Chain A
Amino acid sequence: MNINKTVDAKGLACPMPIVRTKKAIDEIESGQILEVIATDKGAKSDLTAWAKSGGHELVDSKEENGVFSFYIKKG
């Protein structure tokens, strides 16, 4: 997967991971991939819901040792 931009939101609590994600997605082109790295457990369901409401696609996600990585394709 070709990652066009990365947001490092490790250690940040709600709402900051989404605030940063939203800002970053405005800076990439439609069809490009944004990687979001977060440790907040609520991030997964919130990012999924946010991507859906904004017309973006959560193409992949993984968890390793409490660190979540999300890959969002801009809509």
Chain B
Amino acid sequence: MSLKPLTAKEVTTKVINKEPLFILDVRNESDFSDWKIEGESVKSINVPYFDLIDGVEGIVDQLPKDENILVVCAKEGSSKFVGEQLVEAGFGQVSYLSGGMKAWSEHLEPVKIGDLKDGGSIYQFVRIGKGCLSYMIASNGEALVVDTARMTDVYEKFASEQNLTIKYVVDTHLHADHISGGRKLAESTGGAYYLPPKDAGEVTFEHEELIEGNNFVVGNTTVEVQPIYSPGHTIGSTSLIVDGSYLLTGDILFVESIGRPDLAGKAGDWADDLRETLYSKYKNLSMDLIVLPAHFSQVSELGENGQVKAELGELYKKNEGLNISDAERFNKTVSENLPPQPNAYQEIRQTNMGKIDPEEEEQREMEIGPNRCAVHG
């Protein structure tokens, strides 16, 4: 037997299909506890590779004999090093994660959410390793992309396979957890890049303004995309209603949590706006809308085929963040005891404003780790 590579796409399929997977993660303990591959059917143990340089004898008892073992590290070098030793020690089904956690962080899985009323479809691009969700609304040869990830080639390839021209690129807010691919995608496809004006005050490049009331039409007259000003995560945060059926909430409302109001500056600044959006503006919308957020934080939020979605009415019943009746307690919940801020979030915001332009390798490093954009009630 020999050591085999497993791609991030293949691992994603296993996680979504809930296939059993045993992971030996050989990164150091702090990296592992910060961020790892998770899934309902995933079991993982962490033994740093530097404890295995002299051999794997010390851990063979902790490893399954007759199951697939996936060795994971930051880039892949150390996982190959450890994987080869496991093969030599007699383990028959050993693979390593091709490209390591870097590749895991960058993989985008396109998942169809549904068909639109007069033709066309809406797709969710699941960035499983980082918990980011972006969208493509496609109709009659045209497409609008929402909250584009840095790996713009994935959207371009998808659009070209379906004979779509990317006409509009929209960010629901100025992102702090990942580098937006919006500008790059718009430049490359000749589309127009829209940003909410209240988030774009310091943006250094040309762009269009995303404003409530200025609807988009994708594919001649078939699909309408309606911006709804909904501040809270940032002052400019704007949601989109697609085809009267879907509510793209950005980082305001998630399936199991709500947005955090502190990533653009001082904690608590926008807590009142967030409450206003969640407890009054969204309440006036149709409860049948399907909420499509820009993030998930736990793999339990991945539904059938990896989709992340929920009916707005259901969320008003189940999501704890929508059920804090006392305004003061709400403000406390979203301003205090927040999770750590995302890795390099200030540099990421600067990059998204066009103020700095890091090399690609540096951009990768800045994005490593979980998104941490949510407040769990």
Contacts and interface: CB of A to CB of B under 8 A. Distances in A.
B48 A14 contact: no
A28 interface: no
Given A22-B50, A46-B50, A53-B50, A15 B28 contact: no
A68 interface: no
A19 B341 CA distance: 33
A19 B78 CA distance: 10
Interface string A42-65: 100110011001000000000000
Chain B contact residues: over half helix, strand or loop, or mixed? helix
A15 B53 CA distance: 9
B29 interface: yes
Interface residues of A, number: 14
Contacts of B77: 13-16
A53 B51 CA distance: 9
Contacts of A45: 28, 30-31
Contacts of B73: 14
A72 interface: no
Contact of B50 (A13, A41, A49): A49
Interface string A1-44: 00000000000011110110010000000000000000001100
A45 B369 CA distance: 14
B3 to A, nearest CB: 15
Chain A contact residues: over half helix, strand or loop, or mixed? helix
A49 B53 contact: no
Interface string B50-93: 11010000000000000000000111011001000000000000
B49 interface: yes
A13 B28 CA distance: 15
16 contacts: A14-B75, A14-B78, A15-B78, A15-B81, A16-B77, A18-B49, A18-B53, A22-B53, A42-B75, A45-B28, A45-B30, A46-B48, A49-B30, A50-B28, A50-B48, A50-B50
Given A13-B77, A14-B49, A53-B50, 17 more contacts: A14-B73, A14-B75, A14-B78, A15-B53, A15-B81, A16-B77, A18-B49, A19-B53, A42-B74, A45-B31, A46-B28, A46-B50, A49-B30, A49-B48, A49-B50, A53-B48, A53-B51
